Amino acid sequence: MNKNIWVICDGMIFDSKHILQLLNKANILAKQINVDVFVISIGKYDEYTLKRLFQFGATNVLFCENDNCDEAIHSNILGNMIQEKKPGLLIFPATQFSKVVAATLSSRFEAGLTADCIDIELDTEGIFIFSRAALNNSVIARIKCANFKIQMCTVKENVFPLLECTTEKNVCIEKFNYSIGEIFEFPKIDILKKSLIQKENTVSLNLAKVVFAVGRGVNNGETIKLIRKVAKKYKAEIIGTRGAVEEGLVERSRQVGQSGISICPNVYIGFGISGASQHMVGIKNSKIIIAINSDENAPIFNYADYSVLDDVKSVLKELDSLIS
């Protein structure tokens, strides 16, 4: 029998863009298997914010009043909720806080956990399939959980679109009572937290409206300097492919793709980018994709809204001349 899908809020944050993206995906999956979507919120009660979740696909909100934003406390509260409600799938945002909580609960319930997912699908038998980068980010692995009662995953930001649900729904906010007692101990929680903090991105590109993307086709320092100059004029953030990072053209913290981060800017402009699947996964939610490449067979042209077959440097000089 199919069980409900839970979207877990990150700490005290109930309606961040990341959570609403996950809620949209959960709503799509829930309709396929005819179950409900619960948003799990732990923190201070805010009726307006909680009710807003229903506009993005939630059918229920399970709320627990708690002022302590601590991974161990949140893990214990969620553990009690899971024991009582018995969900089928828990979807966490792939943040440092939620990764610690997800790992704790996975150990406690011996549940399958797939980290840093870029997609969730259902196969013909109604089994969840989790997609993520694997083998040094050279392939996309499709994972099924074997011998499971509960499935869990953490999902990267911006891999799912943000769509507001237009259907009116009855608001059902259920309060969950919790009193601090014996907390389930996860011995390696401090080690895990330190490891995740070290891996956390130091550059936030989630709010960027315009991005200039650098690929291997940008093959000299003079062109990079010109890209930085023009990007500053257009108030654009600079990102790169894995190849550009390996060539030392862009900092690793700005790598976009399966192994880096995902973005959804209003305008994406790719300079010298071939269009490998690893990078395209990370930019697929861009509203407008503009590709500039001198190779007419570059795969990125198949994804682009606007294609410019020209030398990158020539186009940059033209863009530079448009704003004094």
Q: What is the pLDDT of residue 135?
A: 67
Greatest mean pLDDT among 109-123, 126-140, 156-170, 244-258 lies in: 109-123
CA angle 26, 21, 25 (to 5 degrees): 25
The string of pLDDT tens digits covering residues 56-98 is 889 999 999 888 778 888 999 999 999 999 999 999 999 889 9
Share of the chain above pLDDT 90, in %: 49
Q: What is the pLDDT of residue 201?
A: 44
Torsion angle in degrees (nearest 10) through CA of 272, 237, 306, 132: 80
The string of pLDDT tens digits covering residues 190-237 is 544 444 444 444 456 878 899 999 998 897 888 999 999 999 999 999
Q: What is the pLDDT of residue 310?
A: 92
Which residue's entry shows tokens 């190779």? Answer: 295
Q: How far is CA 315 from CA 222, 230, 235, 267, 290, in A?
A: 14, 11, 17, 16, 12
Q: What is the pLDDT of residue 137?
A: 63
Is domain 210-322 given the CATH code 3.40.50.1220 in the classification?
A: yes
Cα–Cα distance, 87 to 74 (Å, whole number): 17
For residue 207, with 0-12 CB atoms within 10 Å meaning exposed, 13-18 middle and 19 or more buried, which class applies?
exposed
Residue 200 near residue 96, CB atoms below 8 Å: yes
Residue 154 near residue 99, CB atoms below 8 Å: yes
Q: What is the pLDDT of residue 182?
A: 47
Quick one: average pLDDT of 274-286?
87
Same CATH topology for 5-198 and 210-322: the answer is: yes
More confident residue, 86 or 46: 86
pTM, two decimals, is 0.67
Domain segments of the chain: what residues?
A: 5-198, 210-322
Among 216, 282, 220, which residue's Cα sits nearest to residue 244? Answer: 216
Mean of per-residue pLDDT scores for the chain: 85
- For domain 5-198, the CATH architecture is 3-Layer(aba) Sandwich (3.40)
Quick one: average pLDDT of 149-161?
91
Cα–Cα distance, 188 to 168 (Å, whole number): 44
Q: What is the pLDDT of residue 188?
A: 45
Share of the chain above pLDDT 70, in %: 87
Q: What is the pLDDT of residue 199?
A: 47
